Amino acid sequence: MKKLTTLLSITSLLSICFTSMAQDTASNTNLLADDYKNRSAIYDYSEKNLNNTDTIADFQSKTGKLKITGIIYHNDGITPAKDVILYISQPDENGNYQMKRDANRKRYVHHRAWIKTDADGRYTFYTFMPGKLFRTKELKQIHRTVKEPGKPEQELAAFFFNDDPLIPELTLACRAEAAKSMLRIEEKDGMYIATRDIRLSKTDAIEF
């Protein structure tokens, strides 16, 4: 409940910056890990052996290709964190969450991916720039959940983007909150590149 309260607090702080329409992500808000249809989507990967790189669905056919990479560290900010699972999900380039159902009739966000860090703590996602619904006051974002070995999953603040045209409209407090997980985008060889390290703590994950 504490983790859910923290997530809602982050979401509420950013929501009050705009009058926005709510998105139904239907992905990872329920923490009942024993109930397949309601548990966090972070547990729903199909590969037996995850690795530290994953490619989101439809990557090859999308414009605005995006590579997100970084290192996940333990609380000391120095030691790479091994065997950490990081899950992302996002809307498409038009801001729509494409929902599908698996063989067990569980709904999920089509554009999603998982990584599991190795000894170097590094992660890489190949995805594309998300959009937002037309005429809504909502930042572009990629949702994240992290799972450390021996600990329950934890919702993180979404990745935001430093080139989002709505950033200047945020209050200073909301801008500071969004900056904690903001991706700074560069373009190289026809692909957007963003680097963002994550430091794990006992109660939260802190972005560098």
**The two structure tokens encoding residue 186:** 């560069």
Best CA proximity match to 174, nearest among 3, 9, 13, 4? 13
Q: What CATH number does residue 120 fall under?
A: 2.60.130.10
What's the confidence (pLDDT) of residue 35?
Answer: 82
What's the confidence (pLDDT) of residue 48?
Answer: 76
User: Domains in the chain: how many in total?
Assistant: 1
Q: Which residues of the chain have pLDDT under 50?
A: 1-12, 15-16, 18-33
Tens digits of residue pLDDT in 8-46 = 444 445 544 643 333 333 333 333 345 888 899 999 998
Phi first, then psi: give them for residue 177, nearest 5 degrees.
-70, -45
**The two structure tokens encoding residue 60:** 């090859």
Please write down the HEC assignment for all residues of the chain: CHHHHHHHHHHHHHHCCCCCCCCCCCCCCCCCCCCCCCCCHHHCCCCCCCCCEEECCCHHHCCCEEEEEEEEECCCCCCECCCCEEEEECCCCCCCCCEEECCCCCEEECCEEEEECCCCCEEEEEEECCCCCCCCCCCCCEEEEEECCCCCCEEEEEEEECCCCCHHHCCHHHHHHHHCCEECCEEECCEEEEECCEEECCCCEEEC
Best CA proximity match to 72, nearest among 178, 156, 184? 156
What's the confidence (pLDDT) of residue 205?
Answer: 60
Can you list the alpha helix ranges (DSSP code H) found in the chain? 2-15, 172-179
State which residues form the domain around 103.
Answer: 2-207
Bridge partners, residue 126, by sequence: 55, 67
